[in-house]
Structure 1
Amino acid sequence: MAVVVDATGLATPVLTFRNLSLRCDKSNPQITFQTPWNWELLQARRIAVITNSAFLRYQLSSALAGLVPPVSGEIVSDGVIGWPVGGEGGLDSKLRISHALSFLSTVYSDCLEKSRVGLDEFWGLLSEKEIYPSVIIKELSKEQKDFFFLALSVLFSFDCYLFSSTRFLMSRPAKPLRSLLWRQLEGKSLFATSTNSRFQREFCTEGLVLGSLGQILFAGGLSESIQWADQYLEASDVSDSDEEPLVIGQNLLNLESIDDGFDDDGFA
Protein backbone atom coordinates (compact mmCIF):
# COMPACT_ATOMS: atom_id res chain seq x y z
CA MET A 1 0.00 0.00 0.00
CA ALA A 2 1.60 3.21 -1.19
CA VAL A 3 0.80 5.28 1.88
CA VAL A 4 3.02 3.15 4.12
CA VAL A 5 5.84 2.70 1.62
CA ASP A 6 8.45 5.43 1.33
CA ALA A 7 8.21 6.87 -2.16
CA THR A 8 11.91 7.73 -2.15
CA GLY A 9 12.89 4.11 -1.65
CA LEU A 10 15.61 5.19 0.79
CA ALA A 11 14.13 3.81 4.01
CA THR A 12 14.78 0.21 4.97
CA PRO A 13 11.80 -2.16 5.23
CA VAL A 14 11.69 -3.98 8.56
CA LEU A 15 8.69 -6.14 7.70
CA THR A 16 7.55 -7.09 4.22
CA PHE A 17 4.11 -8.59 3.67
CA ARG A 18 4.12 -10.69 0.50
CA ASN A 19 0.75 -11.90 -0.76
CA LEU A 20 -0.19 -12.33 2.92
CA SER A 21 -3.59 -13.67 3.87
CA LEU A 22 -4.84 -14.62 7.33
CA ARG A 23 -7.93 -16.29 8.67
CA CYS A 24 -10.58 -13.69 9.54
CA ASP A 25 -13.44 -15.68 11.07
CA LYS A 26 -13.23 -17.83 14.20
CA SER A 27 -16.02 -20.15 13.05
CA ASN A 28 -15.02 -20.54 9.39
CA PRO A 29 -11.38 -21.09 8.34
CA GLN A 30 -12.34 -20.51 4.71
CA ILE A 31 -12.94 -16.80 5.36
CA THR A 32 -9.61 -15.04 4.78
CA PHE A 33 -8.28 -11.67 3.61
CA GLN A 34 -10.40 -10.09 0.92
CA THR A 35 -7.23 -8.81 -0.73
CA PRO A 36 -3.78 -10.22 0.18
CA TRP A 37 -1.32 -7.76 1.68
CA ASN A 38 1.66 -6.57 -0.35
CA TRP A 39 3.35 -3.70 1.45
CA GLU A 40 6.30 -2.85 3.71
CA LEU A 41 6.67 -1.55 7.24
CA LEU A 42 9.62 0.79 7.09
CA GLN A 43 12.23 1.57 9.69
CA ALA A 44 11.17 4.02 12.43
CA ARG A 45 7.45 3.80 11.60
CA ARG A 46 5.14 3.34 14.59
CA ILE A 47 1.81 1.95 13.43
CA ALA A 48 -1.35 1.26 15.41
CA VAL A 49 -3.76 -1.21 13.84
CA ILE A 50 -7.38 -0.07 14.24
CA THR A 51 -10.12 -2.59 13.55
CA ASN A 52 -13.41 -3.70 15.08
CA SER A 53 -12.46 -7.39 14.74
CA ALA A 54 -10.80 -8.84 17.84
CA PHE A 55 -10.21 -12.14 16.02
CA LEU A 56 -8.32 -10.35 13.25
CA ARG A 57 -6.17 -8.51 15.81
CA TYR A 58 -5.40 -11.81 17.49
CA GLN A 59 -4.54 -13.58 14.24
CA LEU A 60 -2.35 -10.69 13.09
CA SER A 61 -0.46 -10.53 16.40
CA SER A 62 -0.02 -14.31 16.38
CA ALA A 63 1.29 -14.37 12.81
CA LEU A 64 3.79 -11.57 13.49
CA ALA A 65 4.97 -13.38 16.63
CA GLY A 66 5.43 -16.60 14.66
CA LEU A 67 2.73 -18.46 16.58
CA VAL A 68 0.46 -19.17 13.64
CA PRO A 69 1.26 -19.63 9.93
CA PRO A 70 -0.49 -17.45 7.34
CA VAL A 71 -3.18 -18.94 5.16
CA SER A 72 -1.07 -17.84 2.21
CA GLY A 73 1.95 -15.69 1.52
CA GLU A 74 4.61 -14.73 4.04
CA ILE A 75 5.94 -12.11 6.43
CA VAL A 76 9.60 -11.39 5.74
CA SER A 77 11.65 -9.61 8.39
CA ASP A 78 14.82 -7.66 7.71
CA GLY A 79 16.06 -7.33 11.27
CA VAL A 80 15.18 -8.75 14.65
CA ILE A 81 11.50 -8.74 15.58
CA GLY A 82 10.93 -8.93 19.33
CA TRP A 83 8.40 -11.14 21.03
CA PRO A 84 5.21 -9.26 22.02
CA VAL A 85 6.20 -6.65 24.61
CA GLY A 86 5.28 -7.84 28.08
CA GLY A 87 5.03 -11.45 26.93
CA GLU A 88 6.94 -14.30 28.53
CA GLY A 89 9.43 -14.71 25.70
CA GLY A 90 9.15 -18.51 25.74
CA LEU A 91 10.59 -18.76 29.26
CA ASP A 92 9.83 -21.66 31.60
CA SER A 93 8.29 -20.48 34.88
CA LYS A 94 10.58 -22.86 36.78
CA LEU A 95 13.66 -20.86 35.77
CA ARG A 96 15.39 -18.53 38.17
CA ILE A 97 15.44 -14.87 37.17
CA SER A 98 19.19 -14.95 36.48
CA HIS A 99 18.90 -18.08 34.32
CA ALA A 100 16.03 -16.57 32.32
CA LEU A 101 18.09 -13.48 31.56
CA SER A 102 21.12 -15.60 30.70
CA PHE A 103 19.07 -17.65 28.23
CA LEU A 104 17.57 -14.65 26.42
CA SER A 105 20.93 -12.84 26.47
CA THR A 106 22.43 -15.77 24.57
CA VAL A 107 19.61 -15.88 22.02
CA TYR A 108 19.53 -12.10 21.55
CA SER A 109 23.18 -11.27 22.25
CA ASP A 110 23.43 -8.68 19.46
CA CYS A 111 20.26 -6.96 20.67
CA LEU A 112 21.67 -6.76 24.18
CA GLU A 113 24.96 -5.31 22.94
CA LYS A 114 23.09 -2.55 21.07
CA SER A 115 20.71 -1.86 23.95
CA ARG A 116 20.37 1.68 25.30
CA VAL A 117 19.43 0.19 28.68
CA GLY A 118 22.27 -0.95 30.94
CA LEU A 119 22.15 -4.17 32.94
CA ASP A 120 22.84 -2.26 36.15
CA GLU A 121 19.79 -0.10 35.47
CA PHE A 122 17.74 -3.21 34.67
CA TRP A 123 18.72 -5.01 37.90
CA GLY A 124 18.21 -1.82 39.89
CA LEU A 125 14.60 -1.51 38.75
CA LEU A 126 13.96 -5.18 39.50
CA SER A 127 15.41 -4.90 42.99
CA GLU A 128 13.04 -2.02 43.76
CA LYS A 129 10.22 -4.52 43.16
CA GLU A 130 12.03 -7.16 45.25
CA ILE A 131 12.76 -9.23 42.16
CA TYR A 132 16.17 -10.78 42.75
CA PRO A 133 18.37 -12.99 40.52
CA SER A 134 17.93 -16.13 42.65
CA VAL A 135 14.12 -15.98 42.72
CA ILE A 136 12.19 -18.53 40.63
CA ILE A 137 9.77 -16.94 38.17
CA LYS A 138 6.70 -18.88 39.32
CA GLU A 139 7.26 -17.65 42.89
CA LEU A 140 6.76 -14.01 41.88
CA SER A 141 3.48 -12.24 42.57
CA LYS A 142 1.26 -11.31 39.61
CA GLU A 143 2.51 -7.71 39.57
CA GLN A 144 6.13 -8.83 39.95
CA LYS A 145 5.75 -11.19 36.99
CA ASP A 146 4.19 -8.47 34.86
CA PHE A 147 7.00 -6.09 35.80
CA PHE A 148 9.73 -8.68 35.17
CA PHE A 149 8.43 -9.73 31.74
CA LEU A 150 7.92 -6.13 30.68
CA ALA A 151 11.41 -5.20 31.88
CA LEU A 152 12.86 -8.07 29.83
CA SER A 153 10.96 -6.90 26.76
CA VAL A 154 12.46 -3.42 26.90
CA LEU A 155 15.97 -4.52 27.85
CA PHE A 156 16.81 -5.68 24.32
CA SER A 157 17.15 -3.41 21.30
CA PHE A 158 14.92 -4.91 18.62
CA ASP A 159 14.44 -3.57 15.12
CA CYS A 160 10.68 -3.88 15.51
CA TYR A 161 8.61 -4.03 18.69
CA LEU A 162 5.26 -5.83 18.73
CA PHE A 163 2.42 -4.78 21.05
CA SER A 164 -0.74 -6.83 21.54
CA SER A 165 -1.62 -6.18 25.20
CA THR A 166 -0.53 -2.92 26.83
CA ARG A 167 -2.66 -2.98 29.96
CA PHE A 168 0.27 -3.33 32.37
CA LEU A 169 2.60 -1.18 30.28
CA MET A 170 0.23 1.78 30.70
CA SER A 171 -0.32 1.20 34.43
CA ARG A 172 1.24 3.25 37.24
CA PRO A 173 3.69 0.50 38.38
CA ALA A 174 5.15 0.32 34.87
CA LYS A 175 5.93 4.04 34.58
CA PRO A 176 9.75 3.65 34.91
CA LEU A 177 9.70 0.96 32.22
CA ARG A 178 7.85 3.23 29.80
CA SER A 179 10.80 5.62 30.03
CA LEU A 180 13.17 2.80 29.06
CA LEU A 181 10.90 1.80 26.19
CA TRP A 182 10.97 5.33 24.80
CA ARG A 183 14.75 5.18 24.88
CA GLN A 184 14.82 1.90 22.97
CA LEU A 185 12.24 2.99 20.39
CA GLU A 186 14.38 5.80 18.97
CA GLY A 187 14.79 5.00 15.28
CA LYS A 188 13.01 1.65 15.64
CA SER A 189 9.71 0.36 14.27
CA LEU A 190 6.55 -0.45 16.19
CA PHE A 191 3.54 -2.51 15.15
CA ALA A 192 0.64 -2.53 17.60
CA THR A 193 -2.69 -4.33 17.67
CA SER A 194 -3.37 -3.02 21.18
CA THR A 195 -6.72 -1.27 21.58
CA ASN A 196 -5.52 0.93 24.45
CA SER A 197 -6.15 4.48 23.24
CA ARG A 198 -3.70 6.04 25.69
CA PHE A 199 -0.96 3.73 24.46
CA GLN A 200 -1.77 4.54 20.84
CA ARG A 201 -1.60 8.29 21.41
CA GLU A 202 1.60 8.10 23.46
CA PHE A 203 3.62 5.65 21.39
CA CYS A 204 2.16 5.48 17.86
CA THR A 205 2.36 8.07 15.10
CA GLU A 206 0.38 6.35 12.34
CA GLY A 207 -2.81 4.35 12.05
CA LEU A 208 -3.85 1.48 9.82
CA VAL A 209 -7.62 0.99 9.73
CA LEU A 210 -8.68 -2.53 8.75
CA GLY A 211 -12.00 -4.02 7.78
CA SER A 212 -13.10 -7.37 9.18
CA LEU A 213 -11.66 -9.16 6.12
CA GLY A 214 -8.24 -7.54 6.42
CA GLN A 215 -8.95 -4.87 3.83
CA ILE A 216 -6.96 -1.67 4.38
CA LEU A 217 -9.63 1.02 4.61
CA PHE A 218 -7.47 3.96 5.64
CA ALA A 219 -3.82 4.66 6.45
CA GLY A 220 -2.32 7.91 7.65
CA GLY A 221 -1.51 9.93 10.74
CA LEU A 222 -2.79 8.50 14.01
CA SER A 223 -5.30 11.27 14.73
CA GLU A 224 -6.69 11.14 11.21
CA SER A 225 -6.92 7.35 11.37
CA ILE A 226 -8.76 7.38 14.70
CA GLN A 227 -11.12 10.06 13.39
CA TRP A 228 -11.79 8.05 10.23
CA ALA A 229 -12.42 4.86 12.23
CA ASP A 230 -14.74 6.66 14.65
CA GLN A 231 -16.76 7.95 11.73
CA TYR A 232 -16.91 4.93 9.46
CA LEU A 233 -16.24 1.79 11.52
CA GLU A 234 -18.85 0.22 13.74
CA ALA A 235 -18.16 0.20 17.48
CA SER A 236 -15.21 -1.97 18.43
CA ASP A 237 -16.00 -5.42 19.84
CA VAL A 238 -13.40 -5.09 22.59
CA SER A 239 -12.66 -2.28 25.04
CA ASP A 240 -9.30 -1.04 26.30
CA SER A 241 -9.70 -3.10 29.46
CA ASP A 242 -10.50 -6.34 27.61
CA GLU A 243 -7.04 -6.93 26.14
CA GLU A 244 -5.47 -10.32 26.73
CA PRO A 245 -1.92 -11.54 26.10
CA LEU A 246 -1.25 -14.01 23.31
CA VAL A 247 -1.72 -17.65 24.26
CA ILE A 248 0.18 -20.41 22.48
CA GLY A 249 -2.17 -23.28 21.74
CA GLN A 250 -4.16 -25.13 19.13
CA ASN A 251 -6.76 -22.40 19.04
CA LEU A 252 -4.30 -20.29 17.02
CA LEU A 253 -4.01 -22.76 14.16
CA ASN A 254 -5.77 -22.24 10.84
CA LEU A 255 -7.17 -25.78 10.79
CA GLU A 256 -10.82 -26.52 10.08
CA SER A 257 -10.74 -29.66 12.23
CA ILE A 258 -9.86 -27.76 15.41
CA ASP A 259 -12.49 -26.29 17.71
CA ASP A 260 -11.24 -22.72 18.14
CA GLY A 261 -12.50 -22.22 21.66
CA PHE A 262 -12.68 -18.44 21.22
CA ASP A 263 -15.18 -16.42 23.18
CA ASP A 264 -17.11 -13.53 21.72
CA ASP A 265 -14.07 -11.26 21.92
CA GLY A 266 -11.93 -13.67 19.90
CA PHE A 267 -9.67 -14.67 22.76
CA ALA A 268 -9.02 -18.08 24.24
Structure 2
Amino acid sequence: MIRFENLSKGFWVAGERKTVIDNLNLTLPTGKSLGLLGCNGAGKSTLIQIIAGILPPDSGRVVSDGSISWPVAFGGSFHPELTGAQNVRFVARIYGVDTDSLVDFVEDFAELGKHFKMPVRTYSSGMKSRLTFGTSMGIRFDTYLVDEVTAVGDARFRNKSRLVFRDRMQASSSIMVTHNMREMRDFCDAGIILDGGKLYYFDDLDEAIDQHEALMRA
Protein backbone atom coordinates (compact mmCIF):
# COMPACT_ATOMS: atom_id res chain seq x y z
CA MET A 1 0.00 0.00 0.00
CA ILE A 2 1.18 3.50 -0.88
CA ARG A 3 -0.89 6.43 0.38
CA PHE A 4 -0.59 10.11 -0.50
CA GLU A 5 -1.72 12.51 2.20
CA ASN A 6 -2.25 16.16 1.19
CA LEU A 7 0.75 15.87 -1.12
CA SER A 8 1.79 18.97 -3.07
CA LYS A 9 4.82 19.93 -5.14
CA GLY A 10 5.59 22.83 -7.43
CA PHE A 11 8.49 24.56 -9.14
CA TRP A 12 9.35 28.06 -10.25
CA VAL A 13 9.56 28.15 -14.05
CA ALA A 14 10.43 31.39 -15.87
CA GLY A 15 9.30 33.43 -12.88
CA GLU A 16 6.00 31.58 -12.50
CA ARG A 17 4.98 28.95 -10.01
CA LYS A 18 3.98 25.66 -11.69
CA THR A 19 2.16 23.15 -9.50
CA VAL A 20 2.71 19.58 -10.68
CA ILE A 21 1.13 17.79 -7.69
CA ASP A 22 -1.84 19.54 -6.14
CA ASN A 23 -3.01 18.46 -2.65
CA LEU A 24 -3.07 14.80 -3.61
CA ASN A 25 -5.01 12.35 -1.45
CA LEU A 26 -5.13 8.81 -2.80
CA THR A 27 -4.31 5.26 -1.71
CA LEU A 28 -2.76 2.94 -4.28
CA PRO A 29 -3.78 -0.70 -3.80
CA THR A 30 -1.47 -3.43 -2.55
CA GLY A 31 -0.32 -6.05 -5.02
CA LYS A 32 -1.05 -4.09 -8.20
CA SER A 33 1.56 -3.16 -10.78
CA LEU A 34 0.61 0.28 -12.02
CA GLY A 35 1.36 2.06 -15.27
CA LEU A 36 1.93 5.76 -14.57
CA LEU A 37 0.67 7.85 -17.48
CA GLY A 38 0.57 11.56 -18.22
CA CYS A 39 1.52 14.15 -20.80
CA ASN A 40 5.10 15.38 -21.06
CA GLY A 41 5.78 17.73 -18.17
CA ALA A 42 2.86 16.43 -16.11
CA GLY A 43 5.22 15.55 -13.23
CA LYS A 44 5.56 11.76 -13.51
CA SER A 45 9.29 11.72 -12.73
CA THR A 46 8.70 14.19 -9.91
CA LEU A 47 6.07 11.92 -8.36
CA ILE A 48 8.33 8.87 -8.71
CA GLN A 49 11.18 10.69 -6.95
CA ILE A 50 8.87 11.84 -4.14
CA ILE A 51 7.62 8.26 -3.62
CA ALA A 52 11.25 7.09 -3.48
CA GLY A 53 12.12 9.76 -0.91
CA ILE A 54 14.68 11.42 -3.19
CA LEU A 55 12.71 14.63 -3.65
CA PRO A 56 10.85 16.23 -0.73
CA PRO A 57 7.29 17.45 -1.28
CA ASP A 58 6.34 21.04 -0.51
CA SER A 59 3.67 19.70 1.85
CA GLY A 60 2.01 16.44 2.79
CA ARG A 61 3.58 13.01 2.89
CA VAL A 62 3.80 9.54 1.35
CA VAL A 63 2.98 6.58 3.60
CA SER A 64 3.83 2.96 2.73
CA ASP A 65 3.66 -0.35 4.56
CA GLY A 66 6.30 -2.01 2.35
CA SER A 67 9.78 -1.49 0.96
CA ILE A 68 10.16 0.73 -2.12
CA SER A 69 13.09 0.78 -4.54
CA TRP A 70 14.83 3.90 -5.74
CA PRO A 71 13.82 4.86 -9.31
CA VAL A 72 15.45 2.13 -11.36
CA ALA A 73 16.65 4.55 -14.05
CA PHE A 74 18.00 7.03 -11.46
CA GLY A 75 21.78 6.87 -11.07
CA GLY A 76 22.08 9.73 -8.60
CA SER A 77 22.47 7.33 -5.69
CA PHE A 78 25.88 6.18 -6.98
CA HIS A 79 29.06 8.04 -6.06
CA PRO A 80 30.91 9.00 -9.25
CA GLU A 81 34.38 8.52 -7.75
CA LEU A 82 33.69 4.99 -6.52
CA THR A 83 33.78 2.00 -8.83
CA GLY A 84 30.64 0.17 -9.81
CA ALA A 85 31.58 -2.67 -7.48
CA GLN A 86 32.23 -0.31 -4.56
CA ASN A 87 28.89 1.41 -5.10
CA VAL A 88 27.08 -1.92 -5.13
CA ARG A 89 28.79 -2.95 -1.88
CA PHE A 90 27.74 0.35 -0.28
CA VAL A 91 24.11 -0.15 -1.37
CA ALA A 92 24.15 -3.73 -0.03
CA ARG A 93 25.20 -2.48 3.40
CA ILE A 94 22.49 0.20 3.42
CA TYR A 95 19.73 -2.30 2.60
CA GLY A 96 21.13 -5.08 4.78
CA VAL A 97 21.57 -7.67 2.04
CA ASP A 98 24.49 -10.03 1.49
CA THR A 99 27.28 -7.95 -0.04
CA ASP A 100 29.08 -10.64 -2.02
CA SER A 101 25.85 -12.07 -3.44
CA LEU A 102 24.69 -8.67 -4.66
CA VAL A 103 28.07 -7.84 -6.20
CA ASP A 104 28.14 -11.20 -7.99
CA PHE A 105 24.60 -10.73 -9.31
CA VAL A 106 25.21 -7.19 -10.58
CA GLU A 107 28.58 -8.03 -12.15
CA ASP A 108 27.04 -10.92 -14.06
CA PHE A 109 23.82 -9.11 -15.02
CA ALA A 110 25.10 -5.65 -15.99
CA GLU A 111 27.82 -6.99 -18.30
CA LEU A 112 30.14 -4.06 -17.65
CA GLY A 113 33.32 -6.11 -17.89
CA LYS A 114 36.41 -4.31 -16.62
CA HIS A 115 34.36 -1.12 -16.19
CA PHE A 116 32.66 -2.68 -13.15
CA LYS A 117 35.87 -1.97 -11.26
CA MET A 118 36.29 1.52 -12.70
CA PRO A 119 34.86 4.83 -11.35
CA VAL A 120 31.21 5.45 -12.22
CA ARG A 121 32.16 8.89 -13.56
CA THR A 122 33.73 7.10 -16.53
CA TYR A 123 30.45 5.35 -17.40
CA SER A 124 28.16 6.22 -20.28
CA SER A 125 24.49 6.85 -19.45
CA GLY A 126 23.67 3.35 -20.71
CA MET A 127 26.28 1.78 -18.46
CA LYS A 128 24.93 3.68 -15.46
CA SER A 129 21.43 2.45 -16.27
CA ARG A 130 22.69 -1.15 -16.45
CA LEU A 131 24.41 -0.75 -13.08
CA THR A 132 21.32 0.84 -11.53
CA PHE A 133 18.91 -1.71 -12.95
CA GLY A 134 21.10 -4.65 -11.97
CA THR A 135 21.53 -3.37 -8.41
CA SER A 136 17.81 -2.80 -7.91
CA MET A 137 16.91 -6.20 -9.37
CA GLY A 138 19.44 -7.81 -7.02
CA ILE A 139 17.49 -6.55 -3.99
CA ARG A 140 13.97 -7.81 -3.24
CA PHE A 141 11.60 -4.85 -2.86
CA ASP A 142 7.84 -4.89 -2.34
CA THR A 143 7.45 -2.14 -4.95
CA TYR A 144 9.83 -1.31 -7.79
CA LEU A 145 9.84 2.17 -9.32
CA VAL A 146 10.69 1.87 -13.01
CA ASP A 147 11.25 4.61 -15.60
CA GLU A 148 11.84 3.32 -19.15
CA VAL A 149 14.78 1.23 -17.98
CA THR A 150 13.95 -1.96 -19.91
CA ALA A 151 14.74 0.05 -23.08
CA VAL A 152 18.46 0.10 -22.21
CA GLY A 153 20.94 -1.84 -24.34
CA ASP A 154 20.67 -4.03 -27.40
CA ALA A 155 17.81 -6.45 -28.11
CA ARG A 156 19.46 -9.31 -26.21
CA PHE A 157 20.08 -7.20 -23.12
CA ARG A 158 16.57 -5.71 -23.24
CA ASN A 159 15.15 -9.22 -23.35
CA LYS A 160 17.28 -10.25 -20.37
CA SER A 161 16.09 -7.17 -18.46
CA ARG A 162 12.46 -8.00 -19.15
CA LEU A 163 12.93 -11.60 -18.02
CA VAL A 164 14.50 -10.69 -14.67
CA PHE A 165 11.93 -7.93 -14.12
CA ARG A 166 9.09 -10.35 -14.88
CA ASP A 167 10.57 -12.77 -12.35
CA ARG A 168 10.60 -10.04 -9.68
CA MET A 169 6.96 -9.22 -10.44
CA GLN A 170 5.97 -12.73 -9.34
CA ALA A 171 6.34 -11.58 -5.73
CA SER A 172 6.39 -7.77 -5.98
CA SER A 173 4.52 -4.90 -7.61
CA SER A 174 5.72 -1.85 -9.53
CA ILE A 175 4.96 1.67 -10.63
CA MET A 176 6.15 1.96 -14.22
CA VAL A 177 6.64 4.94 -16.50
CA THR A 178 7.06 4.02 -20.17
CA HIS A 179 6.05 5.37 -23.56
CA ASN A 180 5.78 1.79 -24.82
CA MET A 181 2.14 0.81 -24.32
CA ARG A 182 2.85 -2.80 -25.27
CA GLU A 183 5.45 -3.02 -22.53
CA MET A 184 3.03 -1.42 -20.07
CA ARG A 185 0.38 -4.00 -20.93
CA ASP A 186 2.96 -6.76 -20.45
CA PHE A 187 3.87 -5.72 -16.91
CA CYS A 188 1.00 -3.69 -15.43
CA ASP A 189 -2.41 -4.66 -14.02
CA ALA A 190 -3.91 -1.18 -13.63
CA GLY A 191 -3.16 2.44 -14.49
CA ILE A 192 -2.83 5.85 -12.90
CA ILE A 193 -2.90 9.15 -14.79
CA LEU A 194 -1.27 12.33 -13.52
CA ASP A 195 -3.06 15.32 -15.03
CA GLY A 196 -3.36 18.89 -13.79
CA GLY A 197 -1.72 18.01 -10.48
CA LYS A 198 -4.25 15.26 -9.73
CA LEU A 199 -3.79 11.50 -9.85
CA TYR A 200 -6.57 9.27 -11.19
CA TYR A 201 -6.67 5.50 -10.61
CA PHE A 202 -8.07 3.05 -13.19
CA ASP A 203 -8.51 -0.60 -12.28
CA ASP A 204 -8.80 -1.30 -16.02
CA LEU A 205 -5.42 -0.61 -17.63
CA ASP A 206 -6.87 -0.33 -21.15
CA GLU A 207 -9.28 2.33 -19.92
CA ALA A 208 -6.35 4.27 -18.46
CA ILE A 209 -4.42 4.03 -21.74
CA ASP A 210 -7.47 5.15 -23.75
CA GLN A 211 -7.94 8.14 -21.44
CA HIS A 212 -4.25 8.99 -21.65
CA GLU A 213 -4.25 8.87 -25.43
CA ALA A 214 -7.32 11.12 -25.50
CA LEU A 215 -5.47 13.63 -23.30
CA MET A 216 -2.48 13.48 -25.63
CA ARG A 217 -4.66 14.19 -28.67
CA ALA A 218 -6.29 17.13 -26.87
Q: Classify the TM-score, shorter chain.
A: 0.7 to 0.9
Point out the structure with the larger strand share: 2
Residue of structure 2 in register with 1:178 after alignment: 162
Q: 1:61 to 1:171 in 2, by over 3 A?
A: farther
- TM-score of the superposition, structure 2-length normalised? 0.81
- 1:86 and 1:169 in contact (8 A); partners too: no
Percent of residue pairs identical? 22
Gaps of at least 5 residues in structure 2 are none
For 1:122 and 1:33, the matched residues in 2 are separated by 35
Q: 1:129 to 1:31 in 2, by over 3 A?
A: closer
Structural mapping, 1:149-160, within 5 Å: 149-160=132-143
Deviation at 1:92, TM superposition (A): 0.9
Structural mapping, 1:89-108, within 5 Å: 90-108=77-95
For 2:116 and 2:19, the matched residues in 1 are separated by 47
Residue of structure 1 in register with 2:32 after alignment: 45
Structural mapping, 1:240-259, within 5 Å: none
Deviation at 1:157, TM superposition (A): 0.8
Spell out, residue by residue over 1:112-169, the C-alpha distance to the aligned partner (whole angstroms, 9 max, x if none): 69xxx9764443334x442465333233444433322221121111111112343634
Q: 1:30 to 1:185 in 2, by over 3 A?
A: same
One-letter amino acid of the counterpart of residue 127, structure 2: Q
Structural mapping, 1:1-268, within 5 Å: 13=1, 15-23=2-10, 26=13, 28-29=16-17, 31=19, 33=21, 36-88=23-75, 90-110=77-97, 120-126=104-110, 128-131=111-114, 133-166=116-149, 168-169=151-152, 172=155, 173-216=157-200, 219-231=202-214, 233-235=215-217
Q: Considering only aligned residues, what root-mean-square deviation do their CA atoms show, in Å? A: 3.0
For 1:140 and 1:68, the matched residues in 2 are separated by 24
One-letter amino acid of the counterpart of residue 235, structure 1: R
Gaps of at least 5 residues in structure 1 are 1-12, 237-268
Deviation at 1:24, TM superposition (A): 7.8
- 1:147 and 1:174 in contact (8 A); partners too: no
One-letter amino acid of the counterpart of residue 54, structure 2: L
- 1:42 and 1:189 in contact (8 A); partners too: no
Figure out how many residues of one structure are paired with residues of the other and give that number: 215
